[in-house]
Structure 1
Amino acid sequence: MRFLPLAVLIPVSVVMLFSPGSTVPSGPPNSDKLVHAGLFAALAVASLVAGAGWRTAAAALLAYAAVSEVLQDVLPIHRNGDLRDVLADAVGIACGIVLALLLRRFRASLGK
């Protein structure tokens, strides 16, 4: 059961990151950065819940973020890679890891 959130979020992230540009909803300027941060925060929390160490999760998710932006730039999906999206992803990863570790510590303190 601990893998379920990650098993759901990975395909969701693939759809979000690789849908053709014409299908991506628009919003206020830079609102996509909040979506990127939120998505990668959720992926980070789910990775730690699934049992990954925080360093492994951070490295894998940062690689995924970077590769996804390169692919957006080269695939014929009418999307553009953006370094700012990778930075937003990195912020989300850091926030997700901190949140997961704090929750883990809080739950451990309740068990004492």
Structure 2
Amino acid sequence: MSQRTDQTHAPAGARSRWSRVRVLAVAVLVVHFAALYWPRIDIQGPVTWTDKVVHVLLFGVPALLVLRAWPRAWPAVALLAVHAPLSELAQHAWLPHRSGDVWDAVADLGGVVVGVTLAVVWRRR
């Protein structure tokens, strides 16, 4: 018999919780891609590094939610990490009102690290 523990053997309440987390993860990924590839986005905030906080959140929240919804989704998180610098290159090359920034890519990768760290800590609790 398979030792895999998935939602098919979980109580009904756990299945619905997993379903909500998965729906939220997919919704956050849609927002993630829209924010990265929208033709023009201006981020203003109370401090000069507000933009970097947004980049950390744009990659950290999806990484956390994907690992909460699908615990074995490490390949998807690896794709997020690869996507971080590639999205900056795409913005620079193909979106006329956007520019790629090395520090945005660093913040994106930092977000992936934060999201993975939180998911691991959450799982161990």
**Structure 1-normalised TM-score?**
0.81
Q: 1:54 to 1:102 in 2, by over 3 A?
A: farther
Whose radius of gyration is greater, 1 or 2?
2
Q: Deviations over 1:10-44 (max 9, x none)?
A: 110122112223x4232332211001101211011
| 4+ long deviations beyond 6 Å | none
* RMSD over aligned Cα atoms: 1.8
Q: Secondary structure at the match of 1:38?
A: helix
Match of 1:91 among 110, 114, 121: 110
How many positions carry a matched residue from both structures? Answer: 105
**Does residue 100 in structure 1 map to residue 119 in structure 2?**
yes
In structure 1, the residue matched to 2:56 is: 37
Match of 1:50 among 55, 66, 69: 69
* Structure 1 unaligned regions, length at least 5: 107-112
Contact 1:18 1:77 in 2 (8 A): no
Structure with the bigger RCO (C-alpha within 8 Å, sep 6+) is 1
* Structure 2 unaligned regions, length at least 5: 1-18
Identity of aligned residues (%): 31
Match of 2:85 among 38, 60, 66: 66
